[in-house]
Chain A
Amino acid sequence: SQQGEEDPQALSIQEGENATMNCSYKTSINNLQWYRQNSGRGLVHLILIRSNEREKHSGRLRVTLDTSKKSSSLLITASRAADTASYFCATDAAQGQFYFGTGTSLTVIP
């Protein structure tokens, strides 16, 4: 399986704090994406970073990519209770299909 892994599996923080979650993957990639999933719902795309990029920002989100370590991190700054969700990284496989990691469950306490 090409499934990646996120860590930590679960994270609980106070509102206003920053949340950092990490993703490790196994094969070379063209790009890496982060998705969010509210409980019992589908996934929503957050941000994409290409293999030749090292860092990318979108609003309160900051993503880094280290292809030499096959890892990425997602930082959510100034977290809000509404950020409570599961977060998944996804990589593109050889034929272009998406493979998702195991996810980080984030709880932001008001």
Chain B
Amino acid sequence: DGGITQSPKYLFRKEGQNVTLSCEQNLNHDAMYWYRQDPGQGLRLIYYSQIVNDFQKGDIAEGYSVSREKKESFPLTVTSAQKNPTAFYLCASSIDLGSTEAFFGQGTRLTVV
């Protein structure tokens, strides 16, 4: 099955800890994205990557970091510098930037305890 997989589905983090969210795709897409969604809100772009070993900040990159060492993987680290990390995180991919459709994972719900 081709698709995009996020794990885990639920994640709990203690204040002051870093945590990494996984995103893997087997669609052979070049572009990948991370979005944050707060309750009842739209999606805000955190980071995006056009190609392996390249990524760019979105609107709300502060307190987050990413890597793109492999085409199929785009992990997101939520660092202790992110003051309000509790949210629903969505990863997406597309054939390339400016493509006609983004494919989404099922999301990771992060809660700070």
Q: A and B bound?
A: yes
| A90-B102 contact, Cβ under 8 Å, with A97-B48, A98-B33, A99-B45 | yes
Q: What separation, in Å, do the CA atoms of A33 and B104 have in the docked complex?
A: 14
Contacts of B92 in A (CB 8 A): 42-43, 98
Q: Count the A-B residue pairs with Cβ separation under 8 angstroms: how many?
A: 71
- In the complex, the answer to whether A45 meets B59 with C-beta atoms within 8 Å is no
Check if B97 is an interface residue, CB within 8 A of chain A. Answer: yes
On chain A, the number of residues with a Cβ less than 8 Å from chain B's Cβ atoms is: 28
Interface positions, chain A 18-34, Cβ under 8 Å from B, are: 30-31, 33
Residue B110 is within 8 A (CB to CB) of chain A in the complex: no
8 Å CB contacts to B: which residues of A44-85? Answer: 44-45, 48
Q: A88-B43, A97-B45, A103-B42 are in contact. Are A43 and B102 (CB under 8 A)?
A: yes
The answer to whether B42 touches A92, judged by C-beta atoms less than 8 angstroms apart, is no
* Chain B residues with CB under 8 A of A43: 43, 90, 92, 102, 104
A97 to B54, CA, bound (A): 14
Q: Does B85 contact A (CB under 8 A)?
A: no
Q: Which residues of B contact A100 (CB under 8 A)?
A: 35, 42-43
- Check A88 against B42 for contact (C-beta < 8 Å): yes
CB distance from B58 to the nearest CB of A (A): 7
